[in-house]
Structure 1
């Protein structure tokens, strides 16, 4: 069944003690991660803030200096590292020079779907997680009982993901931790004739491989997505692709997928949606795009899809 669904896709909620989007506007977002309230840039946060009094509560504010880099300005002490939970999973957070903390809350809806998909069907092949970052999807897939190949170009980030696995009690699950350029890894797997049950792809707008390889989303994404489809078991596989690259919305994603696989509407299920994070009062903050194709065409309840 083919479906291009333009409805916004809200994240399955964290418990409020672990994460909450408090407010957004003026190109910034105010979030609470555990006990700590952070004020950081968000280009999609248009319009005025709704609750200006809350912004004075921020423990730390990220200020850009050049490009995507900048510094955190603390208004009170913030620990170097701390943890929050999503269900049984535990994530170690820390602030970096790009304004990130090691977790993208909008991915929670993807995790919800992924867990259901893997825990309710017999998984016959490994799951491949590319640009896997600190391992949210990796941990969900492992928790559901799947073998996972986790690929990221940064050794320190792979180490961070491994710590998250340990915090979550998943250190003994079949997870293969690989420090490699995603495109090189995919090409090698194609030469080996490998097939995966599913591929999770969350590429950056711009990135570097461990040996200086350069990834540019607009230039490289078509070839990478094409190779990913060749690695997926066509009879029972799935493809979960998310992106946060500016200017890459529903129409661009739709053209990309149909340009690579024009026949995709004839089998499985395809959904293309905007991801959002809702505030407590229900205002949605746009947070990137999601593409999900599933050969099995599993339908999920609306609150978890």
Structure 2
């Protein structure tokens, strides 16, 4: 747990300051952070598995040595999704506004033998970055975003999910390639529903066809077997 009085972790058992966790063929570094998280959100495994499925088919992803799938991961946190995409051959641009988090993500990439050429780590405000990429004419075959309810950019920019997410999704359509493969939005908020996320995706992907699914991410309680709501998502796949 986390003490409300002094903002410090209170360990109830002997736990190292850093440790690793395995998920399928991947390893991720966990540690006690200053912002109450330990480095992964386990309910995200559903999204990681979905990304694996989207990238597993070489014909679907057009994955070749000359043309790797280009993936943009926004609000990329400690990089689990970036690593999953890179291990399946994608060229990933990983964007987060927190320097220490990007350093953590680099450690996860190293743990999984992902080369520096496969993931480009950037410390930036995501909306400004997307708008600059559009002006540069850069395109991506897959986009992932996991925006917070509220946050700050590297220069103090204010992010409010309910107001800024629609604009971010709208601007992101300008950097989708002519033949995109997937678009994933994840959120932790009561301000929007999964249906709202689905509607946002429909607006920018309907011309490509494909399929959209949306719903809640859950964790299953071990003792009683109850499903605990842990987030919402909308996912489009060609």
Distance 1:169 1:266, change over 3 A: closer
2:32 counterpart (95, 99, 112)? 95
Distance 1:87 1:191, change over 3 A: same
Tell me how far apart the structure 2 counterparts of residues 288 and 175 of structure 1 sit (CA, whole Å).
26
What displacement does 1:116 show?
A: 2.0
1:129 counterpart (65, 73, 96)? 73
- Listed as ranges, the matches of 1:1-305 within 5 Å are 61-64=1-4, 70-121=7-58, 122-123=62-63, 124=67, 125-258=69-202, 260-261=203-204, 264=206, 267-280=209-222, 281-294=224-237, 296=238
What displacement does 1:276 show?
A: 0.7
CA contact (8 A) 1:162 1:171 kept: no
What displacement does 1:119 show?
A: 2.3
Tell me how far apart the structure 2 counterparts of residues 91 and 222 of structure 1 sit (CA, whole Å).
31
Deviations 1:208-267 (A, max 9, x none): 112222211122111001111221124333110000022322343344445x44x72881
After TM superposition, the score normalised by the length of structure 2 is 0.88
Other-structure match for 1:34: none
Please say which of residues 134-143 and 208-217 is displaced more in the overlay. Answer: 208-217
Tell me how far apart the structure 1 counterparts of residues 194 and 105 of structure 2 sit (CA, whole Å).
30
Structure 2's unaligned 5+ residue stretches are none
Distance 1:238 1:85, change over 3 A: same
CA contact (8 A) 2:194 2:234 kept: no
What displacement does 1:163 show?
A: 0.5
Higher normalized helix content (fraction of residues): 2
Distance 1:157 1:255, change over 3 A: same
Tell me how far apart the structure 2 counterparts of residues 254 and 293 of structure 1 sit (CA, whole Å).
9
Distance 1:74 1:246, change over 3 A: same
Deviations 1:94-134 (A, max 9, x none): 12233211101111111111112112132344100001010
What displacement does 1:64 show?
A: 3.9
Distance 1:76 1:222, change over 3 A: same
Distance 1:163 1:105, change over 3 A: same
* Greater gyration radius: 1
Which runs of 4 or more aligned residues in structure 1 lie more than 3 Å from their structure 2 counterparts after TM superposition? Answer: 254-258
Deviations 1:115-162 (A, max 9, x none): 121121323441000010100000000110111111111111101000
Q: Tell me the secondary structure at the aligned position of residue 70 of structure 1.
A: coil
What displacement does 1:185 show?
A: 0.8
Higher RCO (C-alpha under 8 Å, 6+ residues apart): 1
